[in-house]
Structure 1
Amino acid sequence: MPDRLRDDMREARRSSRMVWASFAREAGFGEAYLRNVENGNRSVTEQVAAAYDRVLDTGGRFVSALASPSRCTPGATWNPSETMAALTELVKGSSVDRRGFLSAGAALSVSAGSWASALAGDGEHERVRDQPDGRTLVAHIDDRLAHLRRLDDELGSGEVYQLARGELSLIVRLITSGNYDTSTRTHLHSMASEAARQVAWAAFDQGRPGIAQRFFDGALRASAEGNDRISGAYALSFAAIQCYSTPGQAGQAVSLLETACDQVKRNATPRMRAMLAARTARALSVTGDRKECARQLLVARQALDHGPHEDDPKTLYWVDHGEIEMIAGSAALRLGDPAEALRRFEAGLAASYRGDEEYPRSHAIYLARAAEAHLAMHDLDASVETARHAARCLGVVDSARSATELSGLREKLAVHTAHSGVREFLQDG
């Protein structure tokens, strides 16, 4: 590892004026260990770089440098030709997932930093000659992307992956044709961002993190080219789920969400702020930061109390008090408070969370967690009943992520086979 990275990390820590003991405690590592890292006696790992980024609020700078020291320069920007080349390669490239969870997470931090730098640029884009507008065509594509979002909610990601990839291919072809006016082309870039996000999310949901990372990167590139901060922040909020679902990467998830919040702070609606705050809380629950997690959940609830806004992005139809409480329940369970988790899950249902009808994939996950909370409270009857409900939701869903959640619950229940209900549930498969 180049000495320059260590020097930069040391300089940033010193500039923060944090004493060693406080810094090490916030970073989650021993003081002696971090001193050895800075002195070159220990390697700079991805987890250490992410801790420095998080505590020093560097926007992922050190993880970016670690992931690709030869070519990732903090502040480097993308340009239109590179963006179109990247998007074209995505739709024509291989579907082989060559990245592991850890390398994909580091690359996401690189993409987030580049996205923020691109948006901070002078805003000049390639000029497009005046052409007839394509509003009707754009409306049709918007409708199809909205349909795919609902399809993902109700049936899972299995079919959505290929369908969204097809939509992205069409949008890229329309952009490169040069047949539309500037306004339409800008809108096409925003839709390319959403289509790439859908592909990325479907890939992650199917257990393919490397493919997900590449399409999340494409979503950020397209949003920067269209100067659409909202679509990029939305993509980052899903990339954050990939990170906090990967061991050792919750700190990166927090950094991604901080980048998203920073870029939309001037134009985010209350609903957008609520979504970002709730997902930040969930990431913080994985890091173990109970106090800040609670604060972010309060921010989310208060933002939603402002009600809907005429400028709410169409993609945020699912953000309501029920969803926020389900996220709060997941966070409480992760923080080791099953009683609070059950209270939050119950509050979500009381807020008319439409899981069974509209969001069975997500509901299967939340129900599996509720069943785990009942198990932690030694209520096997309630745990089995809730687990059966989760299995019914999963029965109509193609989602490796949801299936993994339920499999984990089955493993926890397996030590209680003396209970007839548990035994029957496990035998039913």
Structure 2
Amino acid sequence: MPAARTGPAGPAGASAPADAALPPLRRRGTEAGAGQRVTAGDVAALRSVGELFRTVDHAYGGGHARQALVRYLEHEAEPMLRGSYGESTGRRLFAAAADLTRLAGWTSYDIAAHGLAQRYFVQALRLSQAAGDRVYGSYVLVTMSRQAVYLGHGREAVQLARVAQQGVGSSAPPVVQSMLHAVEARGHAVLGEVRACTASLVRAERVLEGARPGEEVPPWARAFDEAQLADEFAHCHRDLQQYRAAAQYAERALQLYAPGYARSRTFCRVVLASARLALGELEQACALGAEAARQAAEMRSARAVEYVRDFERRLDPHRDALPVRAYRERTAALD
């Protein structure tokens, strides 16, 4: 069986707050009789705002971005969807709204509002379908797969990743294909399926290596790079209890990650700490864990907190050791 994965146990469809701003759908390509006239500049603004919220989420956690993003969806994106626009602008509008809605789901997921997150993801799928953007639809599905991994639903995670792969085939850019295979690997790792996990990781690595410099990549996929793939490898090896490999890949990811990806760096540092602990390197594990705990305390991310708690549960058998007592003292000041 794989090591206990980081993430709370609980139903994926748990009850959620009733504050989901879900933009209404209507048929694209029509000229609405009422509402604002939507321009290319309006759509570009939606995209720019999405990038801003994405940056805040990466650096500080979903709790910092979510409420403002929900209000923006309600007061800016939703009126545009009820507005007036032609076929081409409508497709771009629905695609931009899909991206914002997926991000609202992602930030909800990061604060452990899992049922609410799923409602956003389903709506983002509908919007991407209305936009005719199958590749972005695959991204929404793979986001849902990541949530399933976090909740320990490995079989569901694998199924979602495979549906995403089938939806785009070989037409998606290599970076996107690599992402889809990597997330499938995460599902196999949760299930303890070593061969299937390894095969998916090999495919992800091979496809990413085949990406050509200057090749067009969707903006939302640019974050999936060598650092992110190394991180996926580290998580998989951790879940499969292959701790030496987990440590090697986690160290590589930390070397490659840009500073702006603070939450991902925190997750990866916890994976490295857990691997070092399993390898008997207690003092180093505690030092890494304490640094991750400090970083998590500066974010509004339930996932970051849960990663640290998972590490602390792994420390329990060593609770009387001096490095663990020192860790407890250091982290107590963060509460």
> For the residues of structure 1 that align with 2:107 and 2:311, how far apart are their CA atoms?
23
**Which protein, 1 or 2, shows the higher relative CO under an 8 Å CA cutoff with sep ≥ 6?**
2
Q: Which amino acid aligns with 1:333?
A: R
Residue pair 2:181, 2:203 contacting (<8 A) in 1 also: yes
2:19 aligned residue: none
Q: Distance in 2 between matches of 1:418 and 1:236?
A: 44
For residues 323-347 of structure 1, give each alpha carbon's deviation from its aligned partner in whole angstroms, at most 9, with x where no partner exists: 1011101100101111111121123
Is 1:145 paired with 2:47?
no
Structure 2 counterparts to residues 92-241 of structure 1, below 5 A = 101-103=11-13, 126-129=28-31, 134-169=39-74, 170-178=76-84, 180-241=85-146
Secondary structure of the corresponding residue to residue 108 of structure 2: helix
Once superposed, what is the RMSD of the aligned Cα atoms? Answer: 2.1
Other-structure match for 2:174 = 270
> What is the TM-score when the length of structure 1 is the normalising length?
0.68
How many percent of aligned residue pairs carry the same amino acid? 26
Structure 2, unpaired ranges of 5+: 1-9, 16-26
Residue correspondences, number: 307
Measure the CA separation in 1 of the matches of 2:212 and 2:320: 49
Whole-Å separation in 2 of the counterparts to 1:334 and 1:132: 51
SS of alignment partner, residue 177 of structure 1? coil
Q: Which residue of 2 aligns with 1:370?
A: 272
Normalised by the length of structure 2, the TM-score is 0.86
Which of 383, 395, 416 does residue 297 from structure 2 map onto? 395
Given that residues 142 and 164 in structure 2 are in contact (C-alpha distance below 8 angstroms), is that contact kept between their aligned partners in structure 1? Answer: yes
Distance 2:88 2:239 in 1: 45
Residue 386 of structure 1 is matched in structure 2 by 288
The whole-number CA distance in structure 2 between the counterparts of 1:257 and 1:276 is 6
Amino acid at match of 1:394: A
Question: Aligned letter for 2:80?
Answer: L
The gaps in structure 1 that reach 5 residues or longer are 1-99, 106-124
Q: Distance in 2 between matches of 1:403 and 1:210?
A: 19
Query: 1:159 and 1:360 mapped to 2: Cα distance?
Result: 14
Residue 144 (structure 2) pairs with residue 242 (structure 1): no
Secondary structure (helix, strand or coil) at the match of 1:168 reads: helix
Say whether 1:411 aligns with 2:313: yes
Opposite residue 42 of structure 2, the aligned amino acid is L
Q: Check whether the contact 1:157–1:399 (CA below 8 A) recurs between aligned residues.
A: yes
What CA distance in whole angstroms lies between the structure 2 residues aligned with 1:127 and 1:184?
8
Alignment pair present for 1:427 and 2:329: yes
Contact 2:257 2:265 in 1 (8 A): no
| Partner SS for 1:159 | helix
Structure with bigger gyration radius: 1
Whether the 8 Å CA contact 1:220–1:235 is kept in 2: the answer is yes
Contact 2:247 2:271 (C-alpha < 8 Å) held by counterparts: no
